[in-house]
Amino acid sequence: MADAPGVDVSAQRWARADVEALMAAPFAELIFRAQEIHRENFDPREVQASRLLSIKTGGCPEDCGYCSQSAKFETGLKAKKLMDRDTVLAEAKRAKKEGASRFCMGAAWRSPKDKDMSELCAMVSGVKALGLQTCMTLGMLSDSQATQLSEAGLDYYNHNIDTSPEYYEQVISTRTFEDRIQTLERVRASGMNVCCGGIVGMGEKPEDRIGFLLALANMTPPPESVPINALMPIEGTPLGASEPIPAIEFARLIAAARILMPASYVRLSAGRENMSDEAQALCFLAGANSIFVGDELLTTNNPGRAKDAALFERLGVKLV
């Protein structure tokens, strides 16, 4: 499948028609093109392994319709205080021992308090000293907070746009799409890498998935890491009864992301617990080359070490 006429691939600038064409392309052609681009930029036999730890759980004032950690929803989740540094470092050591190369720390905040920044930065420095890449997701950041995290050595900051700009208000009302973009701009200005993606299966339409990909691919530059999550429906949340999208459509989204963002890590993120081995294999064939390892992702289940090891042995893929 040829590149769309007039698209400057090197600058990663895409028109909506380009993304529509990708999502409408014959599936075999789309996968073939994604594989070509994947192999030009990465070793297709390798998948990057990240570990995600909730360092502060629950009690969030936001109303993200998919999230069990919102204080606005009755999900049965109990709020916990910020985890102490020694416990975080112990978890990071375990993650490295079990094969993770990146350690991600998430806190259920609208934004971190300045009084917590010193401890958060110490966590970053401590994890980095173990030889792991570091990532955090703490909500919205001020210029000063982004600078502090960068100076502490944080490699990636995760701040998802969640969905398309057009569908965004159907998912969350307590912060705007532009709020998220401003935090991403602060992260980029501080010198950190950007980790940014979203969730599908939240009741959005196919055109919203196109808008979601378009917003990511036209960031300057695109995110270095792009987590694509399949909604894990949680009872008590507004989106808890959402219908999942079919596996082939999910793989199509992964393939389009790979083509639109050739040099980015595309992470097959939340939702793997509900995917068959065959569905996951299709996503790796489509260009996904990063996963979260471990039994839990913040507050939802994830395939464990043994299950992943068996799958990757069958696929002839190694975690790095």
Active site residue ranges: 60, 64, 67, 104, 135, 195, 267
Rounded Cα distance between 3 and 267, Å, is 23
Say which residues have a Cβ less than 8 Å from residue 202's Cβ, sequence separation at least 6: 65, 66, 163, 167, 170, 171, 231, 239, 242
Encoded tokens for 141: 């950041």
Residue keyed to tokens 């569908």: 167
Residue keyed to tokens 């990757």: 312
| DSSP run (H or E) holding 213 | helix 206-217
Contact 203, 67 (CB under 8 A): no
Rounded Cα distance between 98 and 300, Å, is 20
Q: How far is CA 145 from the centre of its chain?
A: 21
User: Angle at Cα 30 formed by Cα 25 and Cα 33, nearest 5°?
Assistant: 135
CA dihedral 86, 92, 93, 94 (to 10 degrees): 110
> In 3-state terms, what secondary structure has residue 105?
strand
Q: How much is the CA Rg of the chain, to the nearest whole Å?
A: 19
Encoded tokens for 166: 């057009």
Burial of 99 (0-12, 13-18, 19+ CB in 10 A): middle
Rounded Cα distance between 199 and 310, Å, is 26
